[in-house]
């Protein structure tokens, strides 16, 4: 009788694990995809370089 109870407990555990895996796969398959932002908005913003001595109207 004890081995039968162990078998039933293992079967219930197996069904629970299989259900969790199926639920996870189902949720991954129905997740909406988020559009990636265009490259121009994701690039880091760098300030313009300061003019050098030769570009200031050199004497």
Give me the pLDDT at residue 2, please: 87
Residue 56 has pLDDT above 70, yes or no: no
SS3 59: coil
Residue with tokens 């219930």: 12
Query: How far is it, in rounded angstroms, from Cα 42 to Cα 54?
Result: 33
Q: Give the CA-trace dihedral at 26, 36, 45, 58, to 10 degrees.
A: 150
Query: How far is it, in rounded angstroms, from Cα 6 to Cα 12?
Result: 10
Of residues 9 and 53, more confidence is placed in: 9
Enumerate residues 6+ apart whose C-beta is below 8 A from 36.
42
pLDDT tens for each residue of 12-43 = 999 999 999 999 999 888 777 777 666 665 55
């Amino acid at each position: 009788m004890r081995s039968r109870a162990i078998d039933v407990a293992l079967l219930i555990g197996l069904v629970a694990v299989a259900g969790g895996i199926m639920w996870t796969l189902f949720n991954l398959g129905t997740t909406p995809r988020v559009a990636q932002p265009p490259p121009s908005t994701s690039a880091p913003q760098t300030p313009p370089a300061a003019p050098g001595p030769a570009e200031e109207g050199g004497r």
